[in-house]
Amino acid sequence: MNLTLRTKVFLRSLIRGASPLVGLLLLLSVQTHAKTRPGYNYTHSSFTGKPAPITVKGTVYDEKGGTIPGANVKVKSSGKTTVTDVNGAFTLALPSGDETLIISFVGFKTQEVAVNNRTAIKIILEPSTSSLDEVVVVGYGTTKKRDLTGSVVSVKSDDITARPGPNPIESLQGRVPGLDITRTSGQAGAGVNIQLRGTRSFKADGTPLFIINGLPGDYATINANDIESIDVLKDASATAVYGSAGANGVIIITTKSGKAGKMNIDFNSYYGFNGWSVLPKMLTGEDYLRAKRDAYSYVYDAANSKWVKSYTVGSVTTSAQWQSPADDPAIFGAQRYALYQQGQFVDWPGVLLRKNPATQNYSLAASGGTEATKAYVSFNLQDENSQYRGDDYKLYSTNIRLDHKIKNWVSVGANLQASYVVRNKAQDKLENAITTDPLIQPYNPDGSLNTVLGNNVYNLLLDYQPGVYENLDNNTKVFFNPYIELRPIKGLTFLSRAGVHMDYSNTYRFDGIGSVSYTYANANIAKARVNQDRYEGLQWENILTYNLKVRKDHELTFTGVTSYYYNQNNKTEMNQSNITSNNFEWYKFTGDVNTTAITSYTMSKSFGLIGRLNYSYKGKYLFSASMRHDGASQLYETNRWDTFPAFSAAWRISDEQFMAGTKNWLDDLKLRGSWGITGTAKIDPYSSVSNVESANASLGGTTIPIYRNSSFLTNPDLAWEKSTATNLGLDAAVFNGRINLSADYYNTNTNGVIFAVALPSIYGTYTPGTNYQTNINIAQTNNKGIEVALSTRNVVTKDFEWSSSISYSRNWERVLKITDNTDNVANTGTSYTLMLGQPVNSFRNFKINGVWQIGEEVDAAAFGKRPGDLKVDVPGMTQLAPGVYTKQAANGTTTYYYANLTAAQKFNPALTAANSLYNYSANDYEPVGHNSPDWSLGFQNHFKYKNFDLTVYSYMRWGQTISYNLMGWYQPNAFAINASPSRTFPAAFNYWTPTNPSNDFPVMDFTSSSSTLTGFSGLNFVDGSFFKVKNITLGYTLPTNIGKKVGLQRFRVYSTITNPVVLAKSHFLKDYDPEMNGGLAYPLTKQLVFGLDITL
């Protein structure tokens, strides 16, 4: 059975990957729980007396000794309530000294304290460990964690700021099961790739929908210190309310707001260095000489199937050009041999990259408020430099949140997120640079830059000359979302929220006289380009919520929403060529024949109507149902509207009577189940309409206008891709919150996956060589998976604490249908091939079974191959005897392949052809792996000793195959005398020679190249599994009592090292960080920062 097979696979991988860790942790936490006691102590300053009215003065502290303003203090008997002041103090007049007080505050356990006639009480609140009362933000509302029916993971601010870095979302890597996050580039300000619960869609982008304070926002520029919480909505019951945009999951970011009665000033900063990236060591010096000699040491004697130093046919003797070191000058050529003799091998990355550029961040936030008005303002400056000179990222951002209660039933407020980013970008051809001929010098003897490095090899140092090159972008983003909230009757809230989103980005590119582009690509013409993109979005949402309690046990919540989005994109591009002076950069466009301008425009609108009903019976049985009716302008007018329903239910087993016996150790046990339909938003504007493009063509040396069909042909039936998702979940908390477990199983079927079918060229091409395409909802995918999140507090003593958390996810992804009857179709615009039964992002290429070895000549001959050539796996090929093979074609005919007729005739006497060689070709392609991981595991350990804290976070991502570009630089012909150009490759590449029977790389022979070594392209696909210690943070927090003396609520210094340990599974990935996913434009760095957090 399919299912059992998969279960087995899962179990095996779970056992292999995670289970020892899980077991160990469980054991530890149970043991330590048995030994230690949760200690909360409060001080007695008591004296006895007879019952009489007294006035109690008290102060509420947190576990670290800080005061808690705004805590609720309630007299148990009378219900009389007060709130602690700014200093955490309260005063209460009580009828007698026998009263009991109930003290509560968000995030802490509610505590009952008997007054016992004391007049001064010190109360220390213990943080709430059960977390069931935490507020979780869901689509168009909030709920308590205990009432959740869907699969939602909530991450709080401490965890987000625990890993300092430019992108707050990166801190979620490995923390949210099912959310796969990678950062592939070390460029300053580089983004991350995010994918939730596998790839469902064939279009490349699977980024979830990001909602910030209710409306779509930009996560990349938000300051991590401003974030209160991030909630990740994973299953359909949680995301279906977002309809056509919800299939990739929804990530809701809530920013901090001011709190009543509490004035805070926070200052957070860090300073550090980015660098120390590990790069493959290339062949230089003696290694280079050895490779060069190997390339010329052998010639192939075809008659005898041997690599030899020389052989003779008739009167002609063919000899290898290198016989002894005396031949070195000949194989280098005179000019290069002179360079070799000088021994000046160039370390190209060393020439190009900075060692450890600085990175720094400063943020300042002030917040405070009264019962009626709360405000939060922050400013952030971030400055990151990358390893390329002139490559940096500066971010200035602010976040302002204002909430004001005008009347009891009316509140207004606004939320402003604004950022300004300035980025300088270097030419990022590191991969080309490190493979550059190590013998060619970056500088000429006279000190000028050497521009002749070989064909298509650019001396990137040209762009480092002052004033010759700029690639600058600046980007202004503003999100302004005012709202009004009405509460006309009890239980009814009406929230109307409008927003404007403006995104103005400018890119300025200047390739001046002497720059790389000027010298090589632009034929000595200086050029400048200005791109101005103006995005404007308008959003308006109305949310009506009605909460109703019927006879105590029944709670009903109805939510109704209208949601309207409008956005438009204006793009302008201006080009100037023939710039006569580098002074002008992009400031002097002349408006003549050397100036061109291009504009473009797109827009889209969408509208959604949402209804949702939540029902809870005694908080034990929870139900939810929702429906979204969604319309979008991108779709054809008759096909514009669609509906997305969802249902979910949960059962809190631990609240049942029959579970009463477990109360002492089982805090919570809940089963969840959900079903729903979501959509995917990635349909480009105008793609449902077939258009004719107007262009110009050159005909007979003059310009004539032409019309041609646009590259996408119409499909009026195009609709959203829809995912039907089922989720089963289990939440458990035991031993007073010491162990928390959350596990989910999901199964998502996506039907009508949009596939851009390339029409065969017999139906014409859009432009020569480019097929027409048409979008069809035709394909199907399935994703199944399990997710486990386990957090434990292993040791809790007064001075020492150790807690751990593990998040594990495993996903099985399959393409079920591409188009009717097709399989193995290239996914246009990606490097992947769609194959039935394989994950979406799968590679299809030659599968390499190593290299044909000496001794296998007879077998190799049947394929027309020599020892040293690549041994390509041929599906369906059967060996009958040495050198004799058969293969059955799809139509059932069997073909014999052989080089020696006599040998083959033993199996089939009817054969007559002298030989029948099998040629490797694209027909032999096989699946060679997928880019999505099989499983990933995040493992965090947090230690605390007195005021020191240590966090070690490690991450494993396993089972993904990467296309490692550097493999392709193994080019024996790049060692030829007049190679065009000469190149080098990593020293660790173990290539085949007649004396080195390697199975990694084929023969080192200067007449061979990637195009002659059939199967070469299959070498690129390497197992990219890795383990890395992502961060280690060591911090020290000043004890509160000392801090207070100098007026600080909190003072913490820390140091974080990022990426200290990277281990790759594959031996091909020596000195390479596999998280880069095969590329090498901007290597990932290690980072060391020192930070300071102060709260006044």
In the structure encoding, which two tokens stand for residue 182, read together? 């990678």
Give the x/- contact pattern for another protein in 364-403, rule: CB under 8 A: ----------------------------------------
The count of residues in the chain is 1096
| Residue (of 123, 412, 137) closest to 251 by Cα position | 137
**In the bound complex, what is the minimum distance in angstroms from residue 302's beta carbon to another protein?**
11
Using rule CB under 8 A, residue 28 touches another protein: no
Query: Which CB sits closer to another protein, 128 or 323?
Result: 323
Query: Which CB sits closer to another protein, 451 or 1095?
Result: 451
Query: Which CB sits closer to another protein, 532 or 947?
Result: 532
Using rule CB under 8 A, residue 745 touches another protein: no
Angle between helices 2-17 and 19-35 (to 10 degrees): 60
Q: Segment 848-887, which members bind another protein (CB under 8 A)?
A: 864
In the structure encoding, which two tokens stand for residue 240, read together? 């279906």
Using rule CB under 8 A, residue 761 touches another protein: yes
CA distance 937 to 175: 9
Query: Which CB sits closer to another protein, 287 or 573?
Result: 573
**In the bound complex, what is the minimum distance in angstroms from residue 198's beta carbon to another protein?**
25
Query: Which CB sits closer to another protein, 182 or 539?
Result: 539
* Helix %, strand %, coil % of the chain (to 5): 15, 50, 35
Q: Segment 610-669, which members bind another protein (CB under 8 A)?
A: 631-634, 637, 640
**In the bound complex, what is the minimum distance in angstroms from residue 980's beta carbon to another protein?**
5
Query: Which CB sits closer to another protein, 358 or 758?
Result: 758
Choose, by CB under 8 A, the member of 920, 1051, 1068, 1082 that binds another protein: 920
- Segment near another protein (CB under 8 A); pick from 85-93, 183-191, 365-373, 819-827: 819-827
Query: Which CB sits closer to another protein, 5 or 593?
Result: 593
CA distance 439 to 292: 12
Task: Enumerate residues 6+ apart whose C-beta is below 8 A from 228.
Answer: 156, 157, 254, 255, 256, 257
Q: Which residues pair with 196 in a beta bridge?
A: 179
Contact between 429 and 1080 under an 8 Å Cβ cutoff? The reply is: no
Beta strands per DSSP E along 487-634:
492-511, 527-550, 554-577, 595-617, 621-632
| Residue (of 225, 606, 215) closest to 416 by Cα position | 215
Choose, by CB under 8 A, the member of 49, 701, 909, 1047 that binds another protein: 701
- Segment near another protein (CB under 8 A); pick from 88-96, 168-176, 415-423, 753-761: 753-761
Choose, by CB under 8 A, the member of 763, 892, 902, 1047 that binds another protein: 763
**In the bound complex, what is the minimum distance in angstroms from residue 780's beta carbon to another protein?**
16
| Residue (of 63, 97, 101) closest to 82 by Cα position | 101
Query: Which CB sits closer to another protein, 658 or 763?
Result: 763
In the structure encoding, which two tokens stand for residue 283, read together? 């062949």
561: left (phi over 0), alpha (psi -120 to 50) or beta: beta
Choose, by CB under 8 A, the member of 257, 572, 751, 822 that binds another protein: 822
| Residue (of 606, 545, 792) closest to 24 by Cα position | 792
Q: Segment 768-797, which members bind another protein (CB under 8 A)?
A: 768-769, 771
Query: Which CB sits closer to another protein, 378 or 539?
Result: 539
Task: Enumerate residues 6+ apart whose C-beta is below 8 A from 496.
Answer: 483, 484, 485, 540, 541, 542, 543
- Segment near another protein (CB under 8 A); pick from 549-557, 613-621, 652-660, 693-701: 693-701
**In the bound complex, what is the minimum distance in angstroms from residue 283's beta carbon to another protein?**
22
Query: What b/e readout covers 877-904, taking b as 16+ CB neighbours within 10 angstroms?
Result: beebeebbbbeeeeeeeeebbbbbeebb
Q: What angle do CA 1013, 1014, 1018 make, to 5 degrees?
A: 105
Query: Which CB sits closer to another protein, 387 or 563?
Result: 563
- Segment near another protein (CB under 8 A); pick from 471-479, 529-537, 745-753, 814-822: 814-822
CA distance 1010 to 1016: 6
- Segment near another protein (CB under 8 A); pick from 84-92, 663-671, 700-708, 738-746: 700-708
Q: Segment 435-494, which members bind another protein (CB under 8 A)?
A: 452, 454-456, 486, 488-489, 492, 494
Query: Which CB sits closer to another protein, 94 or 683?
Result: 683
Residue the block writes with tokens 């606004």: 414
Using rule CB under 8 A, residue 706 touches another protein: yes
Query: Which CB sits closer to another protein, 184 or 982?
Result: 982
Query: Which CB sits closer to another protein, 311 or 939?
Result: 311
Give the x/- contact pattern for another protein in 305-344, rule: CB under 8 A: --------xxxxxxx-x-----------xxx---------
Choose, by CB under 8 A, the member of 418, 502, 513, 609 that binds another protein: 609
CA distance 373 to 297: 83
Query: Which CB sits closer to another protein, 509 or 672?
Result: 509
Burial of 570 (0-12, 13-18, 19+ CB in 10 A): middle
In the structure encoding, which two tokens stand for residue 916, read together? 């029948």
- Greatest alpha-carbon pair distance for the chain in Å reads 127
Using rule CB under 8 A, residue 921 touches another protein: yes
Cα torsion 323, 325, 328, 330: sign: negative
Query: Which CB sits closer to another protein, 1 or 889?
Result: 889
- Segment near another protein (CB under 8 A); pick from 143-151, 615-623, 757-765, 898-906: 757-765
Q: Segment 529-558, which members bind another protein (CB under 8 A)?
A: 540, 542, 544
Choose, by CB under 8 A, the member of 671, 689, 881, 1034 that binds another protein: 689
The 3-state secondary structure of 240-266 reads HHHHHHCCCCEEEEEECCCECCECEEE
Choose, by CB under 8 A, the member of 267, 420, 508, 564 that binds another protein: 564
Using rule CB under 8 A, residue 158 touches another protein: no
Query: Which CB sits closer to another protein, 55 or 893?
Result: 893
The 3-state secondary structure of 838-872 reads CCCCEEEECCEEEECCCCCHHHHHCCCCCCCCEEE
Tally of CB atoms within 10 A around 453: 22
**In the bound complex, what is the minimum distance in angstroms from residue 656's beta carbon to another protein?**
39
Query: Which CB sits closer to another protein, 764 or 855?
Result: 764
Choose, by CB under 8 A, the member of 3, 34, 699, 910 that binds another protein: 699
Choose, by CB under 8 A, the member of 76, 394, 605, 1070 that binds another protein: 605
| Residue (of 47, 114, 51) closest to 77 by Cα position | 114
Query: Which CB sits closer to another protein, 346 or 757?
Result: 757
Using rule CB under 8 A, residue 910 touches another protein: no
The site that binds another protein (CB under 8 A) totals a number of residues, namely 116
Q: Segment 943-1002, which members bind another protein (CB under 8 A)?
A: 977-978, 980-981
- Segment near another protein (CB under 8 A); pick from 113-121, 559-567, 892-900, 992-1000: 559-567
In the structure encoding, which two tokens stand for residue 586, read together? 């992009």
Task: Enumerate residues 6+ apart whose C-beta is below 8 A from 851.
Answer: 867, 868, 869, 870, 871, 992, 997, 998, 999, 1000, 1001, 1002, 1003
Give the x/- contact pattern for another protein in 1050-1079, rule: CB under 8 A: ------------------------------
With residue 478 as reference, give the H or E element that holds it: strand 469-486
In the DSSP assignment, the letter for residue 146 is G
